[in-house]
């Protein structure tokens, strides 16, 4: 009997430790880890005259972030009207091949960070969860004036989490 208890005790401990209960602290930590690289961005169509005017109206050229070519010959049609200075290049997001093809340059307007978990709804026998949380914006850049987002307000979001044998994971 003593041998059986000695063998069953470690198994019981492993099984009891693996059933992780999701609380607000764990959910917050998991969301922060998976949300780290989230930056709010804005797309600038560098060959579009409308965007060139928008850059001038926002005062980004006078701040030394970019330059706008005000005139263009017929042979220059389709070439970029907007070029970024060294100061402005600090806020650029790397272009994808599709961005390059479409003459789009994404710029960072702020970092979005997870603030607080507002609630957790457990589903499917406590193996799934819907977590409601808030985010806020930090490190607001000069390009933020182009965005219509209200960067001074918190946003409410939801995420789905699933319990695996090694713990909780964010469902994509």
pLDDT of residue 39: 85
Contacts of 52 (CB under 8 A, 6+ apart): 68, 69, 81, 82
| Predicted pLDDT of residue 19 | 53
Using 50, 70 and 90 to split pLDDT, how confident is the model at 12?
very low
Confidence category of residue 44, pLDDT binned at 50, 70, 90: very high
Does residue 14 carry a pLDDT above 50?
A: no
pLDDT digits (tens, 9 = 90+) for 59-93: 999 999 999 988 777 666 667 899 999 999 999 99
Structure tokens at 106: 């994404």
Q: How confident is the model at residue 34 (pLDDT cuts 50, 70, 90)?
A: confident
Q: Whole-angstrom distance between the N-terminal and C-terminal Cα of the chain? A: 48
User: Residue 51 contacts by C-beta under 8 Å, 6 or more apart in sequence?
Assistant: 44, 45, 81, 82
For 43, residues 6+ apart whose C-beta sits below 8 A from its C-beta are 104, 105, 106
| Digit-coded pLDDT (tens) for 95-154 | 999 998 999 999 999 999 999 999 999 998 888 999 999 999 999 999 999 998 888 889
């Amino acid at each position: 009997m003593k041998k059986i208890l000695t063998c069953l005790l470690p198994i019981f401990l492993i099984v009891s430790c693996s059933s992780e209960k999701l609380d607000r602290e764990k959910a917050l930590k998991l969301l922060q880890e998976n949300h780290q690289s989230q930056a709010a961005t804005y797309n600038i169509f560098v060959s579009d005259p409308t965007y060139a005017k928008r850059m001038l109206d926002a005062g980004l050229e006078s701040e030394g972030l970019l330059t706008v070519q005000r005139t263009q010959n017929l042979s220059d049609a389709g070439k970029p009207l907007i070029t970024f200075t060294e100061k402005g290049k600090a806020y650029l997001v790397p272009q994808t091949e599709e961005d390059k093809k479409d003459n789009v340059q994404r710029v960072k307007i702020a970092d979005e960070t997870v603030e607080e978990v507002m609630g957790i709804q457990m589903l499917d026998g406590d193996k799934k969860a819907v977590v409601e949380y808030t985010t806020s914006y930090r490190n607001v850049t000069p390009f933020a004036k182009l965005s219509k987002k209200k960067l001074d307000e918190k946003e409410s979001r939801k995420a789905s989490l699933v319990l695996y044998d090694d713990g909780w994971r964010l469902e994509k």
